[in-house]
Amino acid sequence: MNNAYNKSLPANTQLTQISVNRCFDGEQHYYSHESSSTNTSMTFSIYLPDEALLGHRCPALLYLSGLTCNADNVTHKAHFQQRCSELGMIFIAPDTSPRSSEGTEVPNDERYFVGQGASYYVDATQSPWSEHFNMQSYIVDELYDLLRSEFAISSIGVTGHSMGGHGALLLGFKFPSKFVSVSALSPVCAASESAWGEAAYTEYFGDDKTLWAQADASHTIKTVGRQYSSILVDQGAADNFLAKGQLQTQKLQQACEDAKQPLTLRYQAGHDHSYYFIQTVINDHIEHHWRKAQLA
Amino acid sequence: MNNAYNKSLPANTQLTQISVNRCFDGEQHYYSHESSSTNTSMTFSIYLPDEALLGHRCPALLYLSGLTCNADNVTHKAHFQQRCSELGMIFIAPDTSPRSSEGTEVPNDERYFVGQGASYYVDATQSPWSEHFNMQSYIVDELYDLLRSEFAISSIGVTGHSMGGHGALLLGFKFPSKFVSVSALSPVCAASESAWGEAAYTEYFGDDKTLWAQADASHTIKTVGRQYSSILVDQGAADNFLAKGQLQTQKLQQACEDAKQPLTLRYQAGHDHSYYFIQTVINDHIEHHWRKAQLA
């Protein structure tokens, strides 16, 4: 381990460092911290190019992962480190939900699209979820402020995959003052009208369809209108979840048309929903966010 | 899944296809097959750029993994697919040993550096290992011939990490007519004189130190002399296993000097033994093998 570059953590850090590995011209770090939003300990990974380790402010990209994932999937499999090292970009991967740990019992569900690993990045209003499942507040307020105080960050863009693509679109358009750029990979475009999301929102929001709509990415874009000069979305054309109606990319396309929000939407021939697809397009997303950060 | 490109498997294939995922301009495949060398079923991954899927012969790189790994580690974490897609190179990752499965009991050991996941790519002579642990024959004869008959391969280079780096150097110099190029990442350079290798060779070869020497990469290079125009080795300078004497890079350097085998040896500042290091240098290795294949 070589911590010689690491000048970026303040002395009064709230973070516990889990691991450091040098990777290209930078370091892959993991941290945990106590969250007042989720009332649990939370873990995230952060890739810091040497510029950031030396204290120069760099643009950051926040990546929200999909159902069943934690920070490891994207950190191990998405292959973002090389381009982030080359451009001088920070890459942050939070967990997808609060989780049970020794001494903390977090509610769960046997369905993989509800409960732990499936927060949808919303603040739940219904018991028993509302005590811990406050991932919107966690991402947009608590983690956001923590990252900006602990690391040399100049601006933050948001992206994500599948349920995390929903999260990126939803939070990017609900809180446009927080983010300089938005993109998504294989996003769940209309959570309130997909089988996955209907199951989750029944648990998290009960019958209040106003809350469902406020937690739907396409509905939110239509409501708030254009917020970004352009957004980038990639979708595998051979993605089974697209065929099964979970993603509903056409609803995002319609919402962006209605909102006059410029959208670059690319259907990639032969590609599925896996991290093999994500690694194929991730560099284009890093470059999209890097360019927007230069103009911010 | 898109198999439209896949023209490369002959009708009388011995292979069972486990999975296909499109990745960059190519496909990541997994296969299993019955091996007469190991008397087990064996699994490997192979990345096929579109050129190979369309039947054009491409150079191939055989990657031998390290202790505790199977084909997944490198396939998920090494990030070779992009450059292989760009260059038109095939990338093959076999398993590190035979393994127990339903109906087949393969010997094992509680130490992670002996038994399943730790073949050292040798043919064991001692019971109970010798019935299954014949990975030299598996790699150099059986899998080698199978790959050449089933896929559009023009030539094969060999590389590997840690125990697999030992395997690449050992098999590359024992069988130079089979391989057009050799490289290694963080290799175990003198297995017969490292604590890991001593434990394993005691099991696989018993007391016959002649066999130990024949299964030692540095000893083999010294014995057979120069075989390649140059070989490439990368080593993390902050690798704990280097500090603990398991890798003994200086013995490889001395052997290459004695054998007049040109060696490009790079100690990479701050880097450890992990796949974060491997992804940092893998493109240089792919390019090394690709250049040698152009001259073959």
In chain B, which stretches have pLDDT less than 50?
1-3
Taking a C-beta distance cutoff of 8 angstroms, is the pair B280, A30 a contact?
no
Indicate whether A3 belongs to any domain: no
pLDDT at B12: 78
Angstrom CA distances, B5 to B12, B75, B86, B164, B243, stand at 19, 20, 16, 31, 47
Q: Which pairing describes strands B26-35 and B40-49: parallel, antiparallel, or unpaired?
A: antiparallel
Indicate whether A9 belongs to any domain: no
Separation CA A135–CA B120 (nearest Å):
47
pLDDT at B296: 83
pLDDT at A138: 98
pTM: 0.93
Q: A275: domain range? A: 16-295
pLDDT at A11: 73
pLDDT at A296: 83
| CATH number for B86 | 3.40.50.1820
pLDDT at B64: 98
Q: What DSSP designation does B38 have? A: T
Torsion of CA A142, A39, A119, A222, to 10 degrees: -40
pLDDT at A9: 72
Indicate whether A21 belongs to any domain: yes
Indicate whether B4 belongs to any domain: no
CB spacing of B77 vs A77 below 8 angstroms: yes
User: Containing H/E element for B27?
Assistant: strand B26-35
CA distance A285 to chain B (A): 15
pLDDT at A13: 84
Indicate whether A34 belongs to any domain: yes
Taking a C-beta distance cutoff of 8 angstroms, is the pair B89, B286 a contact?
yes
Indicate whether A126 belongs to any domain: yes
Query: Which among B2, B22, B279 has the least Cβ separation from residue A23?
Result: B279
Residues of B in contact with A286 (CB under 8 A): none
Which residues of A are designated catalytic? 162, 239, 273
Give the chain A residue whose CA is nearest to the CA of B24: A280
In chain A, which stretches have pLDDT less than 70?
1-8
Q: Which pairing describes strands B58-64 and B153-160: parallel, antiparallel, or unpaired?
A: parallel
Count of CB atoms within 10 A of residue A112's CB? 12
Separation CA A190–CA A186 (nearest Å):
12
CB spacing of B277 vs A22 below 8 angstroms: yes
Rounded (10°) angle between helices B249-259 and B217-224: 10
Q: What DSSP designation does B177 have? A: T
CB spacing of A276 vs B21 below 8 angstroms: yes
3-state percent breakdown (helix, strand, coil) of chain A, nearest 5: 40, 25, 40
Residues of A in contact with B4 (CB under 8 A): 270
List of residues 6+ apart from B111 with CB closer than 8 A: B199
Count up the domains in chain B and report the number.
1
Q: Is B273 a catalytic residue?
A: yes
Separation CA A167–CA A67 (nearest Å):
11
Give the chain B residue whose CA is nearest to the CA of A76: B77
Indicate whether A96 belongs to any domain: yes
Indicate whether A236 belongs to any domain: yes
User: Containing H/E element for B154?
Assistant: strand B153-160
Q: What is the ipTM of this complex?
A: 0.90
